[in-house]
Amino acid sequence: MLGSWIEIAVPQGPDVAATVLRSWWVRPADGALRGGVLVLPEVFGVNPWVRGVAGALAAEGYGALALPLFARTAPDLELGYDDASLAEGRQHKDLTTTPQLLADGAAAARWLQDQLAPDPSRPSAAGRPALGCVGFCFGGHAALLLATLPAVVASCDFYGAGVATGRPGGGPPSLELLDQVAGRLWCFCGGADPLIPPAEVVAIERALAAADPSGERHRLIRAEGAAHGYMCSARNAFQPAAAAEGWRLMLELFDAELTGKG
């Protein structure tokens, strides 16, 4: 794999200050890319585990771009998983808004599309290469938001807490944006996740069904007995079997939507 830090400029926009995204870019050393995937971290930043996710996607043939979610308050954030780090990450999360996340995601998507060679046989969004997106925890919530971008056709929201109760920076629940999601969105929830209680899981399931009555585009996937953070091998909540299944399903979605095999 070839990995490096790169910088992506985000222009100033309505309610959004300009910034630079210090992002981790990794791709296979040889061969054409099968597609591009945005990787959105937990509140702990683009740390070694998140870079490892990007590397694992690159091992599957994808170009993976892990971008910071707190570029304006902590552009170089890399934290561990202790309580103090969690408190620090949540401070930055509380200062982050939905317009910022969407502006940063759009800039990152444009950069990633530029790295993909046009291929008439592949899915495309507005005439440009289509992208996937995966996020974890706060990054999972952000993945639901970025699923509204035209460039993103396949999104995996892993235990994105709060989507049923609000949105970053304030406002109605992010679930109310599902009518703007033109692609496919799969939401993963652990059955023992205290940050997404049963009532919110039901709300997510109902919102997905209302936005996609056919059930062909959107799915809710429960990992029974799994706690919050079950995908992350660096956390105490890591559950290997649930993580392996989550990874398998994510690759299934990306294979179908980004490589033209669906």
Chain centroid to CA 236: how far?
A: 21
Q: Is 137 a catalytic residue?
A: yes
124-151 b/e (C-beta count within 10 Å ≥ 16 → b): bbeeebbbbbbbbbbbbbbbbbbbbbeb
Candidate list 92, 141, 218, 228, residue with the active-site label: 228
Candidate list 157, 193, 218, 232, residue with the active-site label: 193
Q: Are 135 and 250 in contact (CB under 8 A)?
A: no
Candidate list 92, 133, 137, 156, residue with the active-site label: 137
Q: At a CB cut-off of 8 Å and minimum separation 6, what does 31 contact?
A: 61
| DSSP string for residues in 95-128 | T--HHHHHHHHHHHHHHHHHHSPP-TTS-EETTE
Q: Is 133 a catalytic residue?
A: no
Q: Is 228 a catalytic residue?
A: yes
Catalytic positions, please? 137, 193, 228
